[in-house]
Structure 1
C-alpha cells in the first residue's frame, strides 16, 4: 500500500518537499463536461447569452484557474506554468440536451506535476459556463471531471487513462 505524501509522521497535513526532485518537462490533460438543454446550447453557439461570449470567458477562466491553483488547493505548490490550452467539443446528450466536453492541457518545466492545474482549469471553465447561463436554466449538470494523462517526472511513471 502506498503512503500518502501529504501527511507528516503525526498524521497532520503537510506540503510535500519537492526541492530534491529534478526539473523536467511535465504535462497533464484533464477533462470535464457540462450538460445543457438545447435552448442554452443555441444561446451559447449563437453568442446570445447576455453576459457575453460564454466559451471565450470560460477559456480565460480555465487559464486563470490553472495559473492560480496553488492559491485555492492548500497543498499545491506555486508552479511556473509554461502553457495552457482549453478546448471545447459539443456532443449529443440525452433527449433535448447537449454535452460540452472541456479539455485542458497544461505544461511546465519544474519539479512537480501539473495534474491539479489541469483539473482546476476544466472545473473553473465548467463553473464559468454554469454561472453565465444559470439565469436561463439552473438544471445544468457538471461532470464527470477526470485526469486524462500526465507525463514527466522521475519518481512516478507517466499515466494515461484507459477510455471506454
Structure 2
C-alpha cells in the first residue's frame, strides 16, 4: 500500500493487515471519503477502538506512533480537520488525494529531475524517493511522481558524479 501524507512523505506497508485492522482502516477511509466529522474520526483513530491502540489501552506509544498505518489514519483525520476548518494550515500541505499517484520509469524520472539514473537509484535506496517494480517480480523500477516532486537532490553530489 502507498499513501501520501500531508507533508508529502510517502508511507508504505507490505505486510497484510489483520482482519480487525483492515476493517478499521476501511471504516476510517470511508469516513474520510464521506467527509465525516473531524472530531468524531479523530476520537476513533486515537481510541482503543483502533486495533493498533487496543494492546496499549488507548495509549499512543512510540511504536504505535511509528506504525505507518497509524500515521496514515492520523493523516486522514488531519485532512478532515483542515477541510472543515478545525485545524490550521501553513499552506505547504499536499492536499491531493493521498491514494493517487503517477508512476514513471526510473530513466524518465531521472530526466524529469535532472539527475543521473545511478543518483536516482541511490535516492531510492536511501528511501528519499518511493519506487516499486514496474511488473511484480521484475527488477525494473518505476518511481512515484509525487515522491519525486518532494525530493530535493544534492546538486554537489550529482555534479561530482557527472564529472567522474
TM-score class normalised by the smaller sequence: under 0.3
- Larger relative helix fraction: 2
Q: Taking CA–CA contacts closer than 8 Å with sequence separation of 6 or more, which of the two structures ends up with the larger relative contact order?
A: 1
The TM-score normalised by the length of structure 1 is 0.26
- Larger relative strand fraction: 1
